[in-house]
Structure 1
C-alpha cells in the first residue's frame, strides 16, 4: 500500500481546511499556497509514480505584458515509485519552478520550468544505477487553471545526477497533475 491511513487522513484534513479558509489569501492566478498531486508513469516502462507537493508562490511578477507574465513558486514534494523488479523507492524534493501565465477571463494557461534537488531512499531504480541518492529534478509542465484555485496539467520530470557520479542512468516520468491553490 502506498500510504498508511493516518497520512492520507492528514492530507485530506489539510485540503479541506484550506478549501474553507485559504481562499481569502489568493490574489493572483494559482494563489499563494497550494497542494499538488501528480500521478504518472516512467517513460521506459510501466513503473508508477505519485508526487505529493506543498506549493508557495514567489509573490512576484516579471516581464508583464498584454499576453501574460512570468512568476514562480517553490515546491516541496514527497515522491513514491511503485517498482516491479525491486523494492519501492521514495524521495523528498525541493524545486523552484518558474511559470509563464497567459491569463484569460475565467481560466489561464501556464507553462512551468524548474530544476531542483531530490534525496532518494536508495539509488537504484529497477536495473538502473542512478549513481547517487542525491539527484537533480528537472520539471517541465503545461496546463490550464480554472479561477484562482484549480489547475490541471501534464508534466515531464527527469531525475539524474548530471554526471557528477560514476553512474548516471537517469529516469524520466510523465504525469497528470492536479493542484488546489489558495
Structure 2
C-alpha cells in the first residue's frame, strides 16, 4: 500500500504543562504525525474534521512516575478569514506508566492505561497552536483497583 511522504512525517512538537486531581504538576513533550488528509469537510468549508497521531512522554511531578502514550486524535476545526482557526479535539489511546501506585496516593491497578482526552484551542496562520486539554487515565476495569487519574493542561504546539 503506497502512502504519501507526508502521511507519517513529523508535523509538530508540543510542550504542555498540567495539573492533576492529586494536586501535582505534569510536564509533557509530544510529537504529532498528521493523518495526511481531511476526513470530512462541510459544503461551505466552515467545518473540517482531520486528525493526527500523538506520541508523548509525561513526567508526573510529585507522583514519582513517567508515562508514554500513543493516541489518535480527531480535530473539528472552524476555519475562517481572520487568520485564527478555533477547534475542538478528542481521542482515546494507550498509555504505559512506570508505576501503578502513584506515591502511595492513587493505585492505577496496572501500568497499562487508556488515555481519554478532550480539548479546545486556536491554530494560527503560522500553524502554531495553543489550547487547553482534559485527560482521564484508566485501565477500564482490566485490573483492580482502577482508581485512574485526571489532569487538565495548557499546551503550545510548534509546527514542523
Bin of the TM-score, shorter chain as denominator length: 0.7 to 0.9
Q: Is contact 1:32–1:59 with CA below 8 Å preserved after alignment?
A: no
Higher strand share: 2
Larger helix share, 1 or 2: 1
Given the alignment of the two structures, is residue 95 of structure 1 paired with residue 71 of structure 2, yes or no? yes
CA deviations on 1:97-122 (whole Å, 9 max, x unpaired) are: 01111112211011110111111111
Contact 1:131 1:166 survives alignment (8 Å): yes
- For 1:78, which of 34, 46, 57 is the aligned residue? 57
Which residue number corresponds to residue 111 of structure 1? 88
Q: What is residue 61 of structure 1 aligned with on the other side?
A: 38
* Distance in 1, Cα, partners of 2:38 & 2:127: 18
Number of aligned residue pairs: 150
TM-score, normalised on structure 1?
0.78
Is the CA contact (8 Å cut-off) linking 1:112 and 1:142 kept in structure 2? yes
- RMSD after superposition: 1.8
Unaligned runs of 5+ in 2: none
CA contact (8 A) 1:108 1:144 kept: yes
Q: Give 5+ residue unaligned stretches, structure 1.
A: 1-24
Name the counterpart of 2:15: 37
